[in-house]
Amino acid sequence: MRAVPLRVLAALAFVGLVPMTLAAQQGTTVSGVVTGAAGEPLPAVNVAIPSLSVGAVTNDAGRYSFVVPVAKSSGTHTLTARRIGLQAKSVQITLGGASITQDFVLSQAVSQLEGVVVTALGQTREKSQLGTAVQQVSSEQLNTTHDPNIMNQLAGKVSGVAITGAGTQGGSVNVRIRGFTSINGNNSPLYVVDGVPISNSDRGGDPSGASNMYNSRDFGSAISDINPEDVANISVLKGPNAAALYGSRAANGVVLITTKKGNRGTSSTTITASNTWDKPSILPDYQNLYGQGSLGQFDFVNGAGKGVQDGNDQSYGPRLDGRTTGCAFIKKSDPRYDKNNPYVYDTTLPCHQFNAPDGAPWIAHPDNVESFFNTGQTRDGNIAFTGGTDKASARLSLGGENVDGIIPNSFLRKITGLANGSIDVSSKVTATGSVNYIRNTGQNRPGVGYNTGILEQFVWFGRQVDMNALRAQQYDANGNLFNWNYNYHNNPFWLQDYNPETDNRDRTIINGSVSYRPTTWLNATLRSGTDFYRYVINQNFAAGNINMADPNYAGAFADLTDVSNENNTEALLTATKQATSKLELNGTLGGNVRNQSLTTEAVTTSGISVPGIYNVSNAAITPTNSQNLSRRRVNSLYGSASFTWDNWWTVEGTGRNDWSSTLPAGNNSYFYPSVNTSIVLTDAIPSLRGKGYLTFAKIRGAWAQVGNDADPYQLRTTYTGQSSKFGALPLYSLGNTLANANLKPEKTLSTEGGVELGFGDNRVTLDASIYDKATSNQIINLPISPTSGFTSQAINAGKIENKGFEALLSVVPFRSTNAEWTSSFNYSMNRGRVVDLYPGLSTIVLGGTWSATVEARVGEPYGVIRGYTIKKDSAGNWLLADGLPQRGPLAVLGNTQPKWTGGWNNTVRYKNFTLNALLDMHIGGSIFSVTNMFGETTGVLANTLQGREVDWDNPGIVVKGIDEATGDPNTTTVTSEDYFQSFFRLHERYVYDDTWTKLREVRVSYELPVRFANKMYAQSASIALVGRNLVTWTKVPNIDPEFGYSTGNYQGMEFAALPNPRSIGFSIRLTP
C-alpha cells in the first residue's frame, strides 16, 4: 500500500446498510440518478465500484454521489447499481479526474439470490457468500400498505417467520421464527435497530380475563414504536445459525432493522401520507328471533333479578315477534295457572323493557352490535429531509400517526422524530449518531377476555337491546346509571366515556459511534446505544363500575409505570482483506456490555373519596402499591472469521462467550460456537450455467450452538410483601417456586442446509432451507405437588425439537418494456415437538381459560390445547344422560401450531400503474374459541336457533346419540337452551381448525409522470389506493381466526377479541 496523502472518510459500514464511503480532497466525483422502469426515483440503491471499495446509496430522490480518491482515480472499473428486489446493472467507467455522471434505470427483479444484505452485528455481506438463511425486505416491499405495527407489515413476506396480528387495534403482534425453542422462556426474536438491540416488551393480553387491568387489555408490543417510513430495510436472521453471533439471544432469530440515512453531497425531501378507514372485519353471526331471558321468559323490573329472568343476560327469552304483552308465563300463584299447561304467557301483562314504555313491541335490533362500532380512521404522515456535504450527512424525519379506533372514544396517537447523521472528524475517524424519540399514546385500548373485552358484553347479551338507547342515555333522570342489565354489565358507551384508560410511552433510542480506520482493510468501532422508555398506564373507573369500583365509594383507579432501559456498549474490530488474488478474508473481534433494567411501579385502589379525582391523595381505601426492579447484565466477547475462495466458496466460523448476571457465580460463563459454508456452484463449475436454463446455483450448510439465559432472581426463594397492611400489620408470604442456585442457560443446537437456484436469467428463483434445531437444558419451573408447600421448582431439563422447511419461490411470468408481473410465494413448515421434560413429568401448562389449557406435552407439538371431550362410546356415538351430552375425559384436542404458513405476493406493473396483492395463508393448527362457547351458552349466536322453532312447552331437539343408562338410541327431547348449555366447558366442540387465508394487502398505485410531478413542484409523486385485511376465508365461525393478544408463549385461546380491522384508503408520496 502506497503512502499517499489520503483521507479515509465515512466508514459507515458499522451502522448498517451503507458500505464504506470514501471521499478525497481531490478525486473523481461519480454521481447520478437511479430510477425505476416507470421513471420513479429509487431510494436505497447501492451504487459502488466493488474493486475499489467505494460507493454510495441513493437518497429518496434516487440520487447518489461519491468521490473516488485521487489515489484510485485511474483505470477502467465496473460501476454497479444494486438493490434488493431489483435487477442489478453494471457499466464500465473510466476514472481520470473529470466528474462522471451515470444514471441507472433498474427494473424489478425477483431474484433475491444476490446483492448486499445486512447480517449479524450489522455487517453488510454479499448474499451469495452467506452460509446461513437471511432474507431481506426493502422499504417498498414493507410499506405496501400502512399498519400501526411495523411487524404486521412484514406478515406474509418472509419465509420461516410466522406473524400473527393482534386481534385488537394497537395490540401485540406475535412473531415466531422457526417455531418455539423455549418452554417457559422467551420465544420472541431479538430486535436490533442500526446495531442497537431494542425492546419489544408488551403488557397485558391475557384472555383468561383476570380482573387485573394490566392483564386483560392488550397494550401492544413496543416494536410498534418504530416508524415504518424510517426503515430502509429489514433483514431477518432466521434462527440460530444466522444469528449465532448474538449468543444467548440468538435462539429465536433476529430482526435487524436498518434505518434510512442521509446522503453525501445531495439533499432531498420526501413527504408521505395515507388515510384509511377501518371497520371490524368479522363480527359474530347473531340470531334475531329470540330476545333476552331464559326458558322463554323475560320481564324487566330492575335488571338485577327482580323481574322474571330480568337479571339474566342470555337470549333464550320470548320470541321477538313484536308482541306487546305476555313476556312471562302465568304465575303459579295466579288462579288461572294450569299445572298441566304451565307455559302459557300471561297476555294481561305488558312486556317490560329497559328502555321503552310498557307495551312497546318486543322486537329484534339486528344491527345492535355492529352499530356500537364506529368507522375508525387511520391517518399518518411523514416528512423526511436528507442532506449532506462531502464530509457529513444527515437525515431528519418527523412522523405522525393518528388512529381513531373502531370502538367509541378510543384512539392511538404516535409521533416519531428520528435524526441521524455522520461526520468525518478526520481522514480516519468518522462519528455517527442518531436520536429517535417516540411518543406513543393510547386511549381505551380494547380489552381482551372476560372482564374488559368489549365484545364480552355482546356475548352475554339480549338480542332485543336497542344500542341507540344506550348511546343516547348513560345516566337516567335521577342520575343513576342507565343500562339493559344491572347484574353483570355496565352500559358499554358509559364504560368508554366515563372509565377511560389512557397510556403513553415516551421513548428515546440513542445511538452513537466512533470508528477509526487506520488502513483500508481494518476498522475499529466503538458504539453505544440506549433504548430508554417510560410507559404510564392510567385506568380510571367511575362510581358504578361493576367489576372494579367499590360501590361504597366514588370510583376507583389503577396506575402503572414501567421504566425500561437497555444499554449496549460494544467495541468491534473488523478486517476485510484480499489476501491473494483468490482468497478474501473477513474477520471480526468484539466485546459488548449489556445492561438492562426494568422498574415497575403500580398503585391501585378500589375506592376514592371525591368523584373524578383519580389521584392517590383522593384514595378512600388505602391504595395497594407495588414496586419491582429487575436488572440484568451480560458481558460478551465474540469474533468471527470467514474465508472466501475465488468468490465461490466461503467458510465461516464464529464464537461468542457470554457472562450473565442471572446465572450463579462460577456457572455463568458460556461459549457459543458456529460454522457455516456456502458454495456458488455456477461459479465453481461454470459449465453448469445455462444447463436447464440455470443461471445461478448455490448450496449452503451451517451448524450452531446458542443459548437463552435465565430471568433475573431465579436463584433464591424469597418472601413477597404487601404494601397494604392488615390493619396496621405488615404481611409477608413465602414464594411458591423453589429456587435453584445451580441454574444453567438453555442450549440450542441448530443445523441447517439450503439451496438457492436461479433460472432463465433469474426470472425464476428459489431460496430454500431445511433445518433441525433442538433446545435442551430448558429452564423449567417443574410443577411439584402444592402439598409440598411449593408449586414448582426451577430446574434445567427437557428438550424441544423443531424441524422445518422454508422456501421462497419467485417468478417473473411476464416482462416487457411497459409491463411486468412478478409473483413470489413463500412457504414455511415447522414441526415442533416436546421431546422430553423431566422424568415423571408429562406436561407443563403454559396457560389456560375456562378449564381448557395450552400445554407443552411430551411427544406432542409445543402448545397443544387440552380440554374436556364429549362423552362417547367406542364407536364414537355420544353417550347421553337425560337426552343431553355429557363430559368425557380430558384429551388433547389440537395444537396451536400451524401445519404451514405462506404468503403469495403479486406485483403487476403496467406503465405507471402498479398493483400489489398479498395473500397471507395460515393452514392448520387449532384454536379454542370462548366466544363460540359462551355464544351458544347464552343463545346469542345464529346457530342456537336450532330447536327453538317450536314453543317453550314443546321443545325441539332430540340429540343424536345413545342413552347411557339404557344403551338405546336417545328419544328424549330437550330444549334448545338445555342443549346448547350442556356444551359449556365441553371444549372439544369449540376447538377449531385454525385454517385461514387473508387478502392481506392490496395496493394500486400510480406514479405521476415526471412532467406532472414537476407541475406540482415535485420531482416525483405517486398516489395509491390501499387496503388491508380485505377478505378472510376461514371455516372458524363467528370470529377472526387471527389473534395474538401478546408476544408471549400462551397463544391459541380466543375470547372476545376485536377482529383485526379491515382498512381501505389512499396514500400519497411526494418528493419536492
Partner 1 sequence: MRFNRPAASLAASLALAAGVSACNSDLTSLNQNPNSPENAPAGAVFTSAVANSVSRWLGSGFDLRQMEFLTQHLAEVQYPDEDRYARIRASDTQNTFTGAYNTDLEDFEQVRQKGVADNSAAEYAPAMVMKQWEFGYLTDAWGAIPYSQALKGDSGVALPTYDSQKDVYTGMFAALTKAAADLATPGAQSLGGADPIYNGSPSKWQKFANSLHARDAMRISYVDQATADAELKAAFTGPGGVFASNADNAELDWPGDGVYNNPWSNNFQTRDDHRMSKTFVDTLLSHADPRLPIFAMPTEDFQGGKSSAEFVGQPNGLSAAEAGTYFSSTSRPGAIFYPGATTAGFFGGNGAKQPSYLMTYAELLFIKAEAAERGLGGLTPGLAAQFYYDGIKASMQQWGVADADITTYLARPDIAYQGGTNGLKQIATQKWIALFTDGAQAWFEWRRTCVPTLNPGPDAIFKYVPRRLEYPITERSVNGTNVEDAISAQGFDDANEMKGQTYWDTKTAPTCQ
By beta-carbon proximity to partner 1, the closer residue of 1 and 98 is 1
By beta-carbon proximity to partner 1, the closer residue of 144 and 312 is 312
By beta-carbon proximity to partner 1, the closer residue of 767 and 978 is 978
User: Whole-number minimum distance, CB 500 to partner 1, in Å?
Assistant: 21
Count of Cβ atoms closer than 10 Å to residue 480 Cβ: 10
In 3D space, the residue among 20, 15, 18 whose CA is nearest the CA of residue 519 turns out to be: 20
By beta-carbon proximity to partner 1, the closer residue of 803 and 887 is 887
Ramachandran sector of residue 1000 (left: φ over 0; alpha: ψ -120 to 50; beta: rest): alpha
Q: Strand 879-881: give its sheet, edge to edge.
A: 884-885, 879-881, 962-963
Q: Are strands 1020-1034 and 926-929 parallel, antiparallel or unpaired?
A: unpaired
Between CA 252 and CA 237 the distance in angstroms is: 9
User: Whole-number minimum distance, CB 975 to partner 1, in Å?
Assistant: 11
State in Å, rounded, how far the first CA of the chain is from the last one: 44
User: Whole-number minimum distance, CB 573 to partner 1, in Å?
Assistant: 4
User: Whole-number minimum distance, CB 666 to partner 1, in Å?
Assistant: 9
Between CA 152 and CA 146 the distance in angstroms is: 9
Cell of 902: 405462506
By beta-carbon proximity to partner 1, the closer residue of 551 and 813 is 551
By beta-carbon proximity to partner 1, the closer residue of 314 and 822 is 314
Q: Cell 411501579 sits at which residue?
A: 601
User: Whole-number minimum distance, CB 605 to partner 1, in Å?
Assistant: 8
Residue 760 makes CB contacts below 8 A (sequence gap 6+) with: 693, 695
Cβ–Cβ under 8 Å, residues 582 and 535? no
Between CA 952 and CA 939 the distance in angstroms is: 14
User: Whole-number minimum distance, CB 121 to partner 1, in Å?
Assistant: 14
Cβ–Cβ under 8 Å, residues 412 and 148? yes
By beta-carbon proximity to partner 1, the closer residue of 419 and 881 is 881
User: Whole-number minimum distance, CB 932 to partner 1, in Å?
Assistant: 20
User: Whole-number minimum distance, CB 530 to partner 1, in Å?
Assistant: 18
By beta-carbon proximity to partner 1, the closer residue of 411 and 614 is 614
Between CA 958 and CA 976 the distance in angstroms is: 10
User: Whole-number minimum distance, CB 1067 to partner 1, in Å?
Assistant: 46
Q: Cell 413527504 sits at which residue?
A: 271
User: Whole-number minimum distance, CB 552 to partner 1, in Å?
Assistant: 4
In 3D space, the residue among 928, 902, 924 whose CA is nearest the CA of residue 995 turns out to be: 924
By beta-carbon proximity to partner 1, the closer residue of 260 and 517 is 517
User: Whole-number minimum distance, CB 78 to partner 1, in Å?
Assistant: 28
DSSP track, 939-962: T-BGGGGTT-SS-TTS--EE-SSE
Cβ–Cβ under 8 Å, residues 581 and 564? no
Between CA 791 and CA 780 the distance in angstroms is: 12
In 3D space, the residue among 453, 379, 441, 380 whose CA is nearest the CA of residue 411 turns out to be: 441
Between CA 851 and CA 409 the distance in angstroms is: 34
For residue 786, what are the CA distances in angstroms to 719, 838, 842?
A: 17, 18, 17
Between CA 39 and CA 660 the distance in angstroms is: 53
User: Whole-number minimum distance, CB 81 to partner 1, in Å?
Assistant: 32
By beta-carbon proximity to partner 1, the closer residue of 119 and 662 is 662
By beta-carbon proximity to partner 1, the closer residue of 355 and 547 is 547
Cell of 481: 346509571
Between CA 867 and CA 927 the distance in angstroms is: 12
Between CA 438 and CA 417 the distance in angstroms is: 7
By beta-carbon proximity to partner 1, the closer residue of 719 and 1017 is 719
Cell of 95: 476514472
Between CA 632 and CA 568 the distance in angstroms is: 12
User: Whole-number minimum distance, CB 636 to partner 1, in Å?
Assistant: 7
By beta-carbon proximity to partner 1, the closer residue of 106 and 940 is 940
Q: Strand 991-993: give its sheet, edge to edge.
A: 991-993, 926-929, 1053-1054
Between CA 386 and CA 418 the distance in angstroms is: 11
Phi, psi at residue 902, to the nearest 5°? Answer: -160, 165
Phi, psi at residue 996, to the nearest 5°? Answer: -150, 155
By beta-carbon proximity to partner 1, the closer residue of 100 and 613 is 613
By beta-carbon proximity to partner 1, the closer residue of 26 and 720 is 720
**What is the distance of C-alpha 1004 from the center of its chain?**
25
Q: How many residues does the chain have?
A: 1072
By beta-carbon proximity to partner 1, the closer residue of 530 and 647 is 530
User: Whole-number minimum distance, CB 571 to partner 1, in Å?
Assistant: 4
In 3D space, the residue among 862, 873, 897 whose CA is nearest the CA of residue 162 turns out to be: 897
Residue 468 makes CB contacts below 8 A (sequence gap 6+) with: 371
User: Whole-number minimum distance, CB 885 to partner 1, in Å?
Assistant: 14
Cβ–Cβ under 8 Å, residues 846 and 855? yes
User: Whole-number minimum distance, CB 317 to partner 1, in Å?
Assistant: 11
Between CA 621 and CA 609 the distance in angstroms is: 9
By beta-carbon proximity to partner 1, the closer residue of 738 and 1030 is 738
User: Whole-number minimum distance, CB 223 to partner 1, in Å?
Assistant: 27
